[in-house]
Structure formats: structure tokens, C-alpha cells
A and B are shown apart, each in its own frame.
Chain A
Amino acid sequence: MTDKLTLAAVDRDGAIEEMLDKIDGEAAASRGIFLKKSAVLSGGLIGGGALLGTLAKNADAATATDADIANFALTLEYLEAAFYTEAVQMGALSGDVARFARIVAAHERTHVAALKKMLGAAAVASPSFNFQGTTESQAKFKATAQVLEDTGVMAYAGQAPRIQSTAILKAALAIHTVEARHASWIRHINGAPPAPVGFDKPKTMQQILAAVTGTGFISSGPAMTASGSNPSFTG
């Protein structure tokens, strides 16, 4: 397995890694398996509704429209924006990590705004999130941010070649490399190799959705932190 999706801080029982191994191992990567696997993960299913709804329309991945792809990206950006915004608000971060979170939060909110504007009435609504305590501990935040950013890079790399609209492609490319900068930055902070390979690998929409769903970050209930308070999201 690549280290990019090893969400050690969250994936305590190895469910995400197991799922990704399974997907990677099956060239057919049938949606049936994906959906079945997703369904057994608590928490992710209902919040995943928006995601899975988008995915369902793309049962044949080749038919995804630019709007489908942009909404997929928007959902990832909602998640990132909410994660960083909440982490900044919770006040558990300090030093370089706090600076990273503050700057990246603003970028992710900007990405959300740009994608929403681009999609107009077709934009999906933000899901609710529960970051499972990862915004409330510097160590967990750092590990989770690295996974989210590396995942974002793989998601944009996977989708960019499928985008038909030049305007949307330009936006995706401009965001893609910023996600890569974020990934490199948090890796440097974490003492991990900022650029671990010479060629970053793309992941499919299904692979990314499986990983995101597996985190349980997308919740069915109202926005909530592990301690039960309700941060106000600006994403």
C-alpha cells in the first residue's frame, strides 16, 4: 500500500487500508463491492449520501460530467476547509503547525468558494462533519492533514484528464498544485519526505470516496467535535 492513505491516526482498526487494498487489488473495482464495503462502515454512510449519490450517477466512470467532477472536488474541499477551520478554532495548534493550519484553511475556503461559484445552482451542499478528535490534538491534526492533502493531490490528478471544460480544467490544475504544496509543507513539518516519489499517482473517484467515507469524517448528524461542542464552520 502506498503511505498516502495510511490514516494511522484515524484508521485504528485498519478498515480503510483494508478497503483500499481490496480496491487496488481488483482491476474491476466493482461498485458493488465498494458500496457494500462503505455500508458496513458506521457514520460514513448517510453523510456519504451526497458523495455516493454523485458516484451513483457515474456508475460508468467514463460518463462523469464536468459538474459531477467539480462537485466531487467541492465535497473534498468542503471537508478540508471544515477540517482546518475547526482546527484553528479549537486552539490546540501552535507554532509552525498553527501557521500551516491558518494559511491552508484560507486556501481551502477559497477553493470552496471558487468551485461553488463555478457550479452555481448545481453545487452540492456541504455535508456535516465529525473529525473524530483530529482537530483537537496537534499530533492527530498533523497526521490527518498529511493524509488529506496527499489524498487531494491524488484526487485532482485522477480527475483533471477527464475534465472537458477548459475553464474548469484550469481551475483544477491551479488548485491541484496548491494541494501538493500543502502536502509537501505538512510532510516537512512532520519530518516525512516532502516529495516521496518522482511521479505522484492519481486515484480514481471511487478510490478517493472509499478513503473519505472510511474516515467517518462525514457524519449524518450536526457538525460536532469529539467533545460535543459545535464549532461554526465557514467552509
Chain B
Amino acid sequence: MSDHLTLEAVDADGAIREAFEDAGGTSRAGFFKKAFAAGGSLTLGGILIGGLPAIGSAAPSPANDVKILNFALTLEYLEAEFYTRASASGALSGEARELSRVVGGHERAHVAFLKGALGAKAVKKPTFDFKGTTEDQKLFLATARVLEDTGVAAYNGQGPNLTKATLPAAASIVSVEARHAAWVRDILRQNPAPKAFDDALSMPAILKAVTGTGFITG
């Protein structure tokens, strides 16, 4: 399994890990079943899944860009909220606090940018429950690492599906997500750049990962 989605610090009962184990080989039907079985994240899943059937086979088009950007926006909503709450919690100190402050500002800027680009087509912000990960420095860092590595894989997975007009915007965001990932990894004394080529993950794989965290509650 990729280390991107190993959420040990949060995944106390192994449910997320179990969900990921077969992410690569899961049929779409199986994926839907799992996503819906995850409970609580149905609303989010509905938004994302609604766009999914068209994504895998669709050639880049402005309509497809909207679906992909809404997928990105949902991930950015999640990240922005995560850092905003973590910074507000008062639980962070030192470098973790600095990272949360800086990265939170970036993620909020990404949200604003994507909302602006999507206009009336932008999906609404979900509701979140971060399960204590914003209120404990150790859990915060472990979760931030997973979120950022996942963000990189999500953008890299969608880059080739975007039109040439939209790709530059995604390219200017994805490298910032990679910088965040390396930063939190270095704070954690993990290899900031563990591979020569970063992974690209499909929308279903990312959605499964996000759904599995239970962070999105509605």
C-alpha cells in the first residue's frame, strides 16, 4: 500500500486501512457500496459520485473541468477547515503552529480561488468532524501529513484530465501542496521526498480515502 493513505494516528480500528487495501482493484460497484456503507459521508459522496461516471472516460472539456475543480474544491475545503480549526484550538506550538498558520492561509486561498473560478457552479462547503485531530499536536501533524500527500496525489491524478486552459491553475496549486507535504514530513523527521516520482491517484481512490476518515459529516 502507498504510504500516502496510512492514517495510523487516526485510524484506530483499522477501518480506513481496510477501505484502502482494495482501493486499487475495487470495482466501481464495490466502491459505491463501500462509500455508501461508510455512513455520514453520503452527502459528500453524492456530490462527488454524481460527477464520477463521466470522469474516467471523458476527454478534457470545460464541463469535465467543472467536475474536477469541484472535486479539488472539496479537498481544499477540508484542508482549509482542518488548519483553521487546528490554529484556533490553541493545541499547537512551535513549528506545528507556524505550519498550521501558513498552510491554513494557503488552503483558504485555494478555496477562494477555486470558488471564484467555478462561480455559481461551485459546490457548497461540507460539514466536518476532525475527530480530535485538530486538538492534539501529534495527531495534527500525522493527519496533516496524510492530507497533504493525498492532496498531491489527487491533483496529479486529475492533471491529465484537465483542459490546457485549466491545467496551469492546478499546477500552481499542486506544487504548493507538495511543499506542505515535505514541510510537515521534515517536522516529523520523515523523508520529505520519499519517491522520485509522486503518485497519482484516481478520483475514486481519493474519495475512498477521504470518506474513510469520517472527517466529512454532511
Bound-state CA distance A189–B182 (Å) is 11
Tell me, yes or no, whether B83 is within 8 Å of chain A by CB.
no
Do A160 and B195 contact each other (CB < 8 Å), given the known contacts A199-B172, A200-B175? Answer: no
* Chain B, interface residues (CB within 8 Å), range: 35 or more
0 or 1 for each of B192-211: is its CB under 8 Å from A? (1 = yes): 11011111100000000000
> Are B195 and A200 in contact, with the CB atoms below 8 A?
no
Residue with the highest number of chain A CB atoms closer than 10 Å, among B156, B159, B179: B179
Tell me, yes or no, whether A153 is within 8 Å of chain B by CB.
yes
> Are A181 and B197 in contact, with the CB atoms below 8 A?
no
Tell me, yes or no, whether B171 is within 8 Å of chain A by CB.
yes
Tell me, yes or no, whether A32 is within 8 Å of chain B by CB.
no
> Are A184 and B197 in contact, with the CB atoms below 8 A?
no
> Are A195 and B197 in contact, with the CB atoms below 8 A?
no
> Are B182 and A184 in contact, with the CB atoms below 8 A?
yes
Q: Which residues 96-114 of A have a CB within 8 angstroms of B?
A: 103-104, 106-107, 110-111, 114
- How many Cβ-Cβ contacts under 8 Å join chain A to chain B? 139
> Are A180 and B176 in contact, with the CB atoms below 8 A?
yes
Closest-by-CB residue of A relative to B174 is A177
Tell me, yes or no, whether A1 is within 8 Å of chain B by CB.
no
Bound-state CA distance A132–B198 (Å) is 31
Bound-state CA distance A161–B164 (Å) is 5
> Are B193 and A160 in contact, with the CB atoms below 8 A?
no
> Are A185 and B192 in contact, with the CB atoms below 8 A?
yes
> Are B179 and A173 in contact, with the CB atoms below 8 A?
no
> Are B181 and A181 in contact, with the CB atoms below 8 A?
yes
0 or 1 for each of A130-160: is its CB under 8 Å from B? (1 = yes): 0000000000000000000000010011001
Residues of A within 8 Å of B20, CB to CB, are none
> Are B183 and A173 in contact, with the CB atoms below 8 A?
no
Bound-state CA distance A103–B192 (Å) is 10
Residue with the highest number of chain B CB atoms closer than 10 Å, among A169, A179, A188: A188
Residues of B within 8 Å of A201, CB to CB, are 172
B97 to chain A, nearest CB (A): 14
> Are A198 and B109 in contact, with the CB atoms below 8 A?
yes
> Are A160 and B176 in contact, with the CB atoms below 8 A?
no
Closest-by-CB residue of A relative to B181 is A181
Tell me, yes or no, whether A63 is within 8 Å of chain B by CB.
no
> Are B182 and A175 in contact, with the CB atoms below 8 A?
no
Residue with the highest number of chain B CB atoms closer than 10 Å, among A177, A178, A189, A202: A177
Do A177 and B152 contact each other (CB < 8 Å), given the known contacts A184-B182, A194-B182? Answer: yes
Tell me, yes or no, whether A183 is within 8 Å of chain B by CB.
yes
Tell me, yes or no, whether A170 is within 8 Å of chain B by CB.
yes
Q: How many residues of A contact B (CB 8 A)?
A: 42
Q: Which of these binds chain A: B41-49, B98-106, B126-134?
A: B98-106
Residues of B within 8 Å of A183, CB to CB, are 179, 182
> Are B181 and A107 in contact, with the CB atoms below 8 A?
no
> Are A174 and B200 in contact, with the CB atoms below 8 A?
yes
0 or 1 for each of A85-125: is its CB under 8 Å from B? (1 = yes): 00000000000000000011011001100100000000000
Residues of B within 8 Å of A180, CB to CB, are 174-176, 178-179, 182
Do A202 and B176 contact each other (CB < 8 Å), given the known contacts A169-B159, A188-B182? Answer: no
Do A197 and B193 contact each other (CB < 8 Å), given the known contacts A157-B171, A184-B182, A184-B183? Answer: no
> Are A178 and B195 in contact, with the CB atoms below 8 A?
yes
A-B pairs with lowest CB-CB distance, top 7: A180-B178, A180-B175, A195-B179, A184-B182, A184-B179, A177-B178, A181-B193
Q: What are 13 A-B pairs at a CB distance below 8 A?
A: A111-B196, A153-B175, A160-B159, A170-B200, A181-B178, A181-B192, A181-B198, A182-B182, A193-B102, A199-B113, A199-B173, A200-B171, A200-B175
Further pairs besides A107-B196, A173-B174, A185-B192: 8, Cβ < 8 Å? A170-B156, A175-B196, A178-B198, A184-B181, A197-B106, A198-B106, A199-B172, A200-B172
Binding site for A on B (CB under 8 A): 102-103, 105-106, 109-110, 113, 152, 155-156, 159-160, 164, 167-168, 171-183, 186-187, 191-193, 195-200
